[in-house]
Homo-oligomer: A and B are copies of this chain.
């Protein structure tokens, strides 16, 4: 036993490392992922790297073509639309299932996060706004008792994270609406509204973001 903590497998290390580089934008969409090169960079052999890449492919973060190679998944607007639509569906449902299990403390936390988001609008801090936005939504859906559904939500967010770094542009007007919608959503949850109502509101919130994106790019 080299140390106290359980050492992650090489394959897992490679997965985490490559995923991190994709999500944070070091490897931007279209970047060619050469197995041998990544293996050398990480100090492991190609076999675990290959496994990591295929996992990332399954999550939609990379595109893999047989006998040709892997590239960081692209960003075409159609893909973005489909991903957002799917996320709106699964996240809406996850939020609705979470709602009855969200305690007053979590609601307060979410409200505080949303207040910070409002501040970010005044100080124009899009990066922090985006990070807080993810935190806010996490609070709402993390209590979802269905782990499969929760996993789908996480995958959707990851996918978007990799796309966002290059395509998402902060739209002040939309961001303002977003904060207001968040508050409305919290009130719905606090008031013990029905699952259908909450699901509809959560889904609408995301759909509206999608519409804003489309209006911005596709005119």
A residues contacting B by CB (< 8 A) are 9, 47, 50-51, 54-55, 58, 60, 66, 82-83, 85-86, 89-90, 93, 146-149, 152
Instruction: Please pick, from B50, B58, B86, B147, the residue contacting A152 in the complex, using a CB distance under 8 A.
Output: B86
Query: Which of B47, B58, B89, B146 contacts A149 (CB under 8 A)?
Result: B89
| A9 pairs with B83, CB closer than 8 A | no
Is the beta-carbon distance between A148 and B82 smaller than 8 angstroms? yes
- A149 with B55, Cβ < 8 A, contacts A9-B66, A66-B9 known: no
Closest CB in chain B relative to A82 CB, distance in Å: 5
Q: A9-B66, A58-B58 are in contact. Are A86 and B51 (CB under 8 A)?
A: no
Closest to A96 in B: B89
Cβ–Cβ contact A149 & B51, under 8 A? no
Complex A-B: 28 CB contacts under 8 Å: A9-B66, A47-B47, A50-B51, A51-B51, A51-B54, A54-B54, A55-B58, A58-B58, A60-B148, A82-B146, A82-B147, A82-B148, A82-B149, A83-B148, A85-B146, A85-B148, A85-B149, A86-B146, A86-B148, A86-B149, A86-B152, A89-B89, A89-B90, A89-B93, A89-B149, A90-B90, A90-B152, A152-B152
Q: How far is the CA of A85 from the CA of B147 in the complex (A)?
A: 11
Contacts of A50 in B (CB 8 A): 51
A-B residue pairs, 6 tightest by C-beta: A89-B93, A86-B148, A82-B146, A86-B149, A82-B148, A58-B58
A82 to B89, CA, bound (A): 16
- Most chain B beta-carbon contacts within 10 A, residue among A85, A86, A90: A86
Given contacts A47-B47, A60-B148, A82-B148, 20 further A-B contacts (CB under 8 A): A9-B66, A51-B51, A54-B54, A54-B55, A55-B58, A58-B58, A82-B146, A82-B147, A82-B149, A83-B148, A85-B146, A85-B148, A86-B146, A86-B148, A86-B149, A86-B152, A89-B89, A89-B90, A89-B93, A90-B152
Kindly state the separation between the CA atoms of A82 and B146 in the bound complex, as whole angstroms. 6
